[in-house]
Amino acid sequence: MLKRLYLANPRGWLVVLFAFLALSLAFSARYTIGVLIPVWEAEFGWTRGFISSGASLGLLVMAAVAPPIGNMIDRFSPGVMFGAGMLVIAVGVTAAASMTAGWQFILIYCVFAAIGYGVIGLPLASTVIARHFTENRGFATSVGSSGVGAGQLVLIPVFAALVGLVGWRGSLQLTGLVVGAFGIVCLFVLRDRRSPEERRAARAKRRADTGDRFLVKLSVILRHPVFWLVGLAYMVCGFTTAGIVKVHLLPYAAACGFPLVESAAAFGVMAAFDSVGMLLAGYLTDRMHRPFLLGMVYFLRALTFILLLYVAQDVSLLFFFAVLFGTLDFATVPPMASIVASHIGLRTMGLAMGTLFAMHSIGAATGAWLGGWLFDLNARYDWVWIIGLALALLAAVLVWMVPEKPGYEPKAASPAAA
């Protein structure tokens, strides 16, 4: 079956593979901050609030660049987008290894590298993959996007071990080297294969088509009610995942007295189940009512925060939370991308996903900052998890208000699938 899928669309599955690898490396590099927060606190004397504010700034930078990057996705080849994004990340991470002051942390780690993270994200992966598939779009999107978790399963524990062996500076240098090498490969393997005449014709068509203009497309997207229901929920998604869990889970585990390598292993388990959840969600996206599926992901995610209130008593609960939360973490992506493709359209999908990612990043920035501020205020994370629970429930309600696309027929219900 897998061979048949590949032979039916070899170029499409090559794009899926490179999306998987790019997301694996980029998200692993991004989430090393959870390992580095206690290290930087000890070495530089920075407060958790300062580092969290820097992480929030990085997420806001990602939010700012997301819409124009989304528009570029609609215009440039996958090779240019993946290659350029990875190289920016590589330069930022490598330069961060030499920082000695707080302003350097802000400028290099939280601004420059964040531009690269804004390029290499789920909007790029899901849009590029959607354009290469008509059949099995949800499954292909979930496979490519699952690199977000699969990479962290291996790379975050490896990074934590490297910090103990060669220090945080050497670990960042090695990370930058690997990311940069892969970026160069992307530039060549995923280059635009169209002839010069085809590329010139495409550019001429874009110039002649006023509907391709950034502000025109953006205004169409912003007038769509489904965009706002999905977008506000996705802002909560950012708050609960990249904001409070991905930034503050490892510092929370350290505050509970758990060893760094053991906590990083739990983080890796969560990343592994990111991939499991995304693959499962991709399979279900093609087969059931998508707004109901997306809403259930948010609803169940809300319940997982109850576990975090009791994690301090037993490290096994940390691993149990990692399994459950990981399964629900990126499971929002396949149904959301599918809803955007069918309700808003493939032609503007890159910009729509980029704008949604901007909202996700704003939510994440708020969560990262709020988590650090509340910890500095109370020396506890309880209220952070309670707020996450309440907002995830709200996101579920918002998504359940989205109507399914008229005429959309899940595979399981179609005559062809019978």
What span, in angstroms and rounded, lies between the C-alpha atoms of 11 and 13? 6
Query: Residue 134: phi, psi to the nearest 5?
Result: -115, -50
Instruction: Please say whether the beta carbons of 25 and 86 come within 8 A.
Output: yes
Query: pLDDT per residue over 359-370, tens digit each?
Result: 998 999 899 899
Residue with tokens 């939010």: 63
Q: Give how many domains the chain has, as a whole number.
A: 1
CATH number for 368: 1.20.1250.20
pTM (global) more than 0.85: no
Whether residue 209 is contained in a domain is answered as no
Whether residue 325 is contained in a domain is answered as yes
Whether residue 320 is contained in a domain is answered as yes
What span, in angstroms and rounded, lies between the C-alpha atoms of 358 and 18? 23
DSSP 405: P
Whether residue 133 is contained in a domain is answered as yes
- What tokens does 328 get? 């629900």
Whether residue 5 is contained in a domain is answered as no
Q: Of 190, 123, 96, 62, give the one whose Cα is nearest residue 333.
A: 123
pLDDT of residue 416: 37
Domain that includes residue 140, residue range: 12-189+214-404
Whether residue 308 is contained in a domain is answered as yes
Instruction: Please say whether the beta carbons of 86 and 179 come within 8 A.
Output: yes
Whether residue 100 is contained in a domain is answered as yes
Query: pLDDT per residue over 195-210, tens digit each?
Result: 666 666 666 655 555 4
- What tokens does 179 get? 């990311």
Instruction: Please say whether the beta carbons of 339 and 226 come within 8 A.
Output: yes
Query: pLDDT per residue over 268-318, tens digit each?
Result: 889 889 888 988 998 898 888 999 999 999 999 999 999 999 988 788 999
